[in-house]
Amino acid sequence: MMRLPKFEYHTPKSITEAVKIIADVGPAAQFVAGGTDLYPNMKRRQQTPKSVISVMRLAELNQITGDGSQGLRIGASVILSDICESKIINRDYPVVARAARTISTPLLRNMGTIGGNLLLDTRCNYYDQNYEWRKGINFCLKKDGDICWVAPGSSKCWAVQSSDLVPVMVAIGAKLRFASTLGERVIDAAGLYNDDGIDYLHKRPDELLVSIELPPMNGWQASYQKLRRRGAFDFPVLGVAAYIQRKDGLVSDAKIVLGGIAPSPVEIRDAATALIGKPLGDDAIQAAAEAAYVKARPLDNTDFVYQWRKQMARQYTVRALNELVANV
Ligand SMILES: Cc1cc2nc3c(=O)[nH]c(=O)nc-3n(C[C@H](O)[C@H](O)[C@H](O)COP(=O)(O)OP(=O)(O)OC[C@H]3O[C@@H](n4cnc5c(N)ncnc54)[C@H](O)[C@@H]3O)c2cc1C
Ligand code: SF4
């Protein structure tokens, strides 16, 4: 049985207290929400904080406020089950509830939070293993080693951004609010992710994710399609988020964002170009799907044959866009 190492545990009651603790303890500290990602990683000695600071008792992080007409603010510690069941989210932002429902299992959704999901560690077959397994291959670049087993000539880690909500948040243009002892900052979800499996977030470790801010619903629609081996639960090995806005029967704005294939979500701008100015019909959808296929470059470090996952980028883009045709 894998055991957690010893660590100090803090339970601050306010944002001010939480950010002060992490600033005082420094790099040896890490925030934890539901712990469904961090604790397994600690058991496998992939992440090794000496101090863990819970964000679950921070009242402001546990609230959902607003609605589709003014925009919705979701606290970072809201658990995924509450996202799945929220009447407002199901009515005004159904894509968010639907993507959340595909995450892990009901038990894990009762613990896991939206904030933890957006800040999930990147994943790789050579990394998501216990300590002894990783030691057996002399570790890898991401932790304790000096070679990438996926691309041995590479100085970069290709571990995969594997959250279901990340491509959705990037596609719909969500904003993320962070706090630290230096103050607050708000960034676009698209600006948070870095195309490097080790240094995968444009965020300092001492920054607390406070909330996720969804834009007002002014006619846009979005959908999410997930490829995984087991329908009951599995991480995405490809996720396609599609966002469109229509004017006078023509697509006036669009975004296609792929998750699960690279260290950061991949926005396919050529797919948007293929859609904008056209009715959302078969021709435009096929052209967008072709663009997604061309730009999707998964590597051999998660489930399924990677060339097949590339092929599936085409199919899943078609499915995601067809969902929006049906929703008119
Ligand atoms: C068996 C299994 C299946 C899973 N399947 C899926 C899946 O299909 N799809 C998917 O997307 N995920 C999946 N997950 C991953 C995980 O359960 C979810 O992503 C969950 O939402 C993570 O949230 P958490 O609160 O547990 O994160 P935690 O483990 O608490 O934290 C994750 C990371 O976020 C940081 N963090 C958390 N909150 C904050 C904050 N407010 N400010 C700053 N940093 C913070 C932590 O330091 C840590 O680095 C799975 C996990 C398991 C164990
Ligand atoms: S992509 Fe390479 S460096 Fe990154 S976790 Fe996998 S094997 Fe390690």
**So what's the pLDDT on residue 117?**
98
- Residue 120: name the closest of 166, 78, 55, 178 by CA: 166
Confidence band of 1 (pLDDT split at 50, 70, 90): confident
Which tens digits make up the pLDDT trace of 164-220? 999 999 999 999 999 999 999 999 999 999 999 999 999 999 999 999 999 999 999
Q: Compute the distance from residue 112 Cα to the ligand 1 centre, in Å.
A: 6
Ligand 1 atom with minimal separation from the 33 CA: 30
3-state helix, strand, coil in the chain (%, to 5): 35, 25, 40
Residue 40 Cβ contacting ligand 1 at under 6 Å:
yes
| Mean pLDDT computed over 287-295 | 98
Which contacts (CB < 8 Å, 24+ apart) does range 87-93 have? Answer: 88/64, 89/64, 92/67, 92/68, 92/217, 93/68, 93/172, 93/214, 93/217
127 CB within 6 A, ligand 1: no
272-281 pLDDT per residue, tens:
999 999 999 9
**Confidence category of residue 144, pLDDT binned at 50, 70, 90:** very high
pLDDT at 328 over 70: no
- Residue of 11, 14, 32 to mutate, ligand 1, most atoms within 8 A of C-beta: 32
User: pLDDT tens-digit profile of 75-123?
Assistant: 999 999 999 999 999 999 999 999 999 999 999 999 999 999 999 999 9
Least distant ligand from the CA of 300: 2
Residue 319 pLDDT greater than 90, yes or no: yes
- Position 326 scores a pLDDT of 74
Nearest residue CA, atom 4 of ligand 2?
Answer: 157
